Amino acid sequence: MLEIKDIKETKTGIEGVMSHPSFAGHEQVVFCYDKVTGLKAIIAIHDTTLGPALGGTRMWNYATESEAINDVLRLSRGMTYKAAISGLKLGGGKAVIIGDAKTQKSPQLFRKYGQFVESLGGRYITAEDVGTSTSDMVSVRESTKHVTGLPESMGGGGDPSPVTAFGVFMGMKASALEFWGSDSVKGKKVMVQGVGHVGQNLVRMLTEEGAIVLVSDINKESVDAMVKQYGATSIAAENVYDQEIDIYAPCALGATLNTENINRLGCSVVAGAANNQLAEEVQHGQQLKEKGILWAPDFLINAGGLINVYSELHGYNREVAMEQARKIYDTTLEILRKAKKEDITTIAAAKMIAEERILAARQ
């Protein structure tokens, strides 16, 4: 049951403090509404122990406000883990704008949204996410300096995908070392599902190291480009989970690791960029473990995007961001070894390490 308290009119519009059973653990959740621009947004700050809460702003046509709240609470909690496990001095936060990204965007709306971000005094730093773009962040920048994901011309980091793909590649190599005793992917059969921004960069790195690459995408042009450029083999979307392969790299959608797909999977390692790959964290983490499949935690190995925007806070430098992403290799090894030693799932091990870091900082 959602309750909104302390409703007040401020310079930016009307603000209220909401109370909801699953707010436990969140530091602050702010509902933002502006009549003139039609802005309806929720900013969730989950934890700022390690630093300001950085997380993107998602614009989505949620069916209900309750759906939007659940999403922002879940996503902001995930950002806390992602930042902590990546060793960044950042907390976890996220925001959602309720609306259709195709028809309801305007520079005024994002400027107004920026005022709300500014009103939090730097406790929350935003960036682009699903449904928002670099140009939207430029509008947000007109009202607040607490925004990242800006174009290179404005001191931003530009497209984060190469950094994300590099981090995924590092996580994949560390997983290969743990599973096969060598971190080389040469000769390994790797299925890349989704060859968009991240997937294409990953295919390039895999090919350069001599992997046998299979690709699948609902966009035929993207697949054709990979076949032509890198000699990859095209696999129909419905056959992805039935391949005899070494590594499955989900780089399209979340929740592809569900009961049915895991039963079908014929691979040893899963390492990819997609967010929230496990349909149910505990159940499917356990199912993978029982099947002997090594799963590299997604929120660690896809942290290159976060690392890239974090780098903007200190004067953007691509080499520095890449160097930070390289550390994903060591952290992945640490997690996989802890999971093996303690006979727990890799997601449990990753979360334990993240929580230990937050606790140590708190103390």
DSSP assignments along 192-233, one per residue: EE--SHHHHHHHHHHHHTT-EEEEE-S-HHHHHHHHHHH-PE
Using CB under 6 A as the binding criterion, the count of chain residues that bind ligand NAD stands at: 24
Residues 204-243 that bind ligand NAD (CB under 6 A): 216-219, 222, 237
Q: Is 251 a binder of ligand NAD (CB under 6 A)?
A: yes
Residues 105-144 that bind ligand NAD (CB under 6 A): none
Nearest CA to 110 out of 135, 76, 130, 85 is that of 135
CB within 8 A of 119, min separation 6: which ones? 10, 11, 12, 15
- Identify which range of 7-15, 31-39, 194-202, 313-321 contacts ligand NAD by CB under 6 A: 194-202
Q: Least separation, in Å, of the C-beta of 175 and ligand NAD? A: 17
Residues 258-297 that bind ligand NAD (CB under 6 A): 273-275
Residues 139-178 that bind ligand NAD (CB under 6 A): 160-161, 164
Nearest CA to 193 out of 257, 288, 264, 272 is that of 272
Signed CA dihedral, 143, 146, 149, 152: sign only: positive
Q: Which of 2, 253, 282, 359 binds ligand NAD (CB under 6 A)?
A: 253
Q: Least separation, in Å, of the C-beta of 57 and ligand NAD? A: 14
186 is catalytic: no
Residue 334, burial from CB neighbour count under 10 angstroms (0-12, 13-18, 19+): middle
Angle of the 304-312 helix axis to the 318-326 helix axis, nearest 10: 140
Task: Please state, in angstroms and rounded to a whole number, the distance separating the CA atoms of residues 319 and 316.
Answer: 9
Q: Least separation, in Å, of the C-beta of 59 and ligand NAD? A: 14
Q: What is the number of the residue whose Cβ is closest to ligand NAD? A: 196
How many Å from the N-terminal Cα to the C-terminal Cα in the chain?
Answer: 33
Closer residue to ligand NAD (CB): 12 or 199 = 199
Closer residue to ligand NAD (CB): 107 or 196 = 196
Closer residue to ligand NAD (CB): 175 or 261 = 261
Q: Of residues 40, 82, 94, 105, which has the active-site annotation?
A: 94
Q: Is 73 a binder of ligand NAD (CB under 6 A)?
A: no
Residue with tokens 């009549």: 35
CB within 8 A of 280, min separation 6: which ones? 258
Closer residue to ligand NAD (CB): 51 or 131 = 131
Residue with tokens 């980091």: 157
Q: Is 312 a binder of ligand NAD (CB under 6 A)?
A: no
Closer residue to ligand NAD (CB): 75 or 109 = 75
At 49 the three-state DSSP class reads coil
Closer residue to ligand NAD (CB): 52 or 56 = 56
DSSP assignments along 148-167, one per residue: ----GGGT-----HHHHHHH
Active-site positions? 94
| Residues near ligand NAD, by CB under 6 A | 160-161, 164, 193-199, 216-219, 222, 237, 251-253, 273-275, 302, 305
